[in-house]
Amino acid sequence: MVVLDVSNIEEKYQAVNGEITALKEISFRVEKGEFVSIVGPSGCGKSTLLSIIAGLMKPTSGEVFVNGEKIKGISNHIGYMLQKDNLLEWRTIYSNVMLGLEIQNNLTPENIERVIQLLKTYELYEFKDKYPSQLSGGMRQRVALIRTLAINPDILLLDEAFSALDYQTRLTVTNDVYKILKQEQVTTIMVTHDIPEGISMADKVIILSQRPAVIKEILTIDFEDENRTPLNCRKNPKFSKYFDYIWKELSSDG
Ligand SMILES: Nc1ncnc2c1ncn2[C@@H]1O[C@H](COP(=O)(O)OP(=O)(O)OP(=O)(O)O)[C@@H](O)[C@H]1O
Ligand SMILES: [Mg+2]
C-alpha cells in the first residue's frame, strides 16, 4: 500500500539576488512500513523536501499525497523529528510524551494507554516522573521519538535526528529506534549526512544531486537477512558495496 506519493515537486526560493531553485522534478512513492533514507550534498534541498512533505511549506509546483489525499497545510498524519529533541525541560518525561495528544485535544484513555505501553516496551516507564535533564542524550532521543509516535502518525520524518549524539550513542540509538519503527510498522523518511547510517536503516536510499536537487537514483537496499539490524548489517559484505556506490554517485558531477 502506498502511503506517501510525492509527485513532480519543484521549489523555488526568492532570494535577494534572484531566484534559487532548490528542488526539481522530485517524484517518488513510499509503501507502508518502508524506511527510506535521503542523502545528498550539503544545501541541495533535503530539509526543504521534508518541510514540503510535512505541509510546513507549499511547493512552487507539484503535489504530495498521504494515503491518497492531497496535503494542504500541516497534517496530523505526519510526525517530524529534528536534530534537537526539543523536550520541554520543565515538564516530566510523562507530560512530555503526552504533549502532542494534549495539543490535539486527544488525551483519550486508549491513547494514554498506548503511550504508556510505548514507554514500558522501550524501557522508559520507570523514568516517567524524571525531567529531561536527568536523562542521557540517547534516552532523551527515545523520549522524543515516543512523543512523536504518540500521535500515531502515518509517516515519520527525521531530519538529521541523531547528529547531535556522540558516535557510540548514535549507533545504539539508531539500532533501538529502528526496532521501534519496524515493530510499530511506521513509514519513515530520514535525511542524513551519514551515508553508513542511511544504509544501515534503509529499505531504499534516495540519492539527490547538487542543487537544484533532482533524484539521481533510488537504490534498493537488501541484505537478504531476516534478522537484519542497523548494527549487524554493517558487517554484511554488501554494506561496503552500497557505501562505495553511493559515495561515487554523490561525488560525480551533475
Ligand atoms: N527560506 C529560504 N529562502 C531562500 N533560500 C532558502 C531558504 N531556505 C533554504 N534556502 C536555500 O535552499 C537551498 C536548500 O536548502 P535546504 O536547507 O533544504 O538544504 P539541505 O539539503 O537540507 O542542506 P543541509 O545539508 O545543509 O542541511 C539552500 O541553498 C538554501 O540556502
Ligand atoms: Mg538540512
pLDDT of residue 220: 98
Residue with CA nearest ligand 1 atom 17: 47
pLDDT of residue 203: 97
pLDDT of residue 122: 79
User: What is the CB < 6 Å shell around ligand 1?
Assistant: 13, 15, 20, 22, 40, 42-48, 211
> pLDDT per residue over 193-235, tens digit each?
999 999 999 999 999 999 889 999 999 999 999 999 999 999 9
Q: What's the N-to-C CA distance of the chain in angstroms?
A: 33
pLDDT of residue 254: 56
pLDDT of residue 163: 87
* Calpha distance 78→158 (Å, rounded): 11
pLDDT of residue 253: 66
Q: Which portions of the chain are predicted below pLDDT 50?
A: none
Nearest ligand 1 atom, CA 160? 27
In this structure, what is the dihedral angle of CA atoms 109, 115, 116, 117, given to the nearest 10 degrees?
Answer: 110
Confidence (pTM): 0.91
* Calpha distance 117→123 (Å, rounded): 10
